[in-house]
Amino acid sequence: MKTFGNRLRHAMRHFGPLCVGIDPHPQLLDAWGLSDDVDGLEAFAETCVEAFDGRVALVKPQVAFFEAYGSGGMAVLERTISVLRASGTLVLADAKRGDIGSTMDAYARAWLGDGALGSDAVTVSPYLGFGSLEPAFGLAGQNHRGVFVLAATSNPEGAQLQRITDVDGRTIAQTVVDAAADRNAGAEFGSVGVVVGATLTDAPDLSELNGPILMPGVGAQGGGVDSIRALVPAASFGAAVPAVSRAVLAAGPSVSALRARTAELQEEFAFLQH
């Protein structure tokens, strides 16, 4: 089986670099004329699957919006992940997990194993120490999955921690990117990615990462082509994965409208693959 990094790169070359989120927050359910319950959640998820399955490089369900509905919501998430992966569409579970020891091991087994929530990749938080994520890296390598590590996030509060400088003068965000780069050393294209907000005014040095750069904040939050050009070195454009959610989902609930909006954004970011 190919590594996640190679599978993602292949998908990006075939479909374009876009990652589309499935974010069923209550306002969107209401805008789509759906009920704020598990039935509405399932209808929303099924529409997204129909619209995006086999048409984008990466689909990113936001786990929190499914967790909010309890066991019924998690069952919907399980079915969503299963249907997408069964057709070959790559799934990134946006779970932002991070802990130590046996707890991190359990998170890794949940999201990177072969159980009902097993996905192609998962987002993780390194702020209990990068080394605390070792269970996720180990299982991801074993199962040919991927891990996206939060590095420089788009929320304003993130800078309070992420821009602190270490004893060697690097920001915490840069140490995260550099540690991810170490994990990717020697790979054709690494399976350890980082999360860098597309709305930032500056970013860590990404030139040595050799792995995917997930860039949320495109569209509704103000990120776009210009900000990604400014944040990512031109030589690394092929690693950039713009992540969109509301910018696409606002076109729903029509499947054809969701597909049309996705196609517009795929064309907009096609320069990243040249």
Homologous superfamily (CATH) of 4-273 is Aldolase class I (3.20.20.70)
Is 96 a residue of the active site?
A: yes
DSSP 93-108: EEEEE---HHHHHHHH
pLDDT the model gives residue 274? 66
Pick the catalytic residue from 10, 79, 85, 96. Answer: 96
Closest listed residue to residue 232, CA positions, set 189, 263, 202: 202
Domains of the chain by residue range = 4-273
pLDDT the model gives residue 1? 63
For the chain (274 residues), the mean pLDDT of every run of 10, in chain order, is 94 96 97 98 98 97 98 98 97 98 98 98 97 98 98 91 91 97 97 96 95 91 89 96 96 98 96 83
pLDDT the model gives residue 113? 98
DSSP 57-83: SEEEEBHHHHHTTHHHHHHHHHHHHHH
User: Is-contact 152 196, C-beta < 8 A?
Assistant: yes
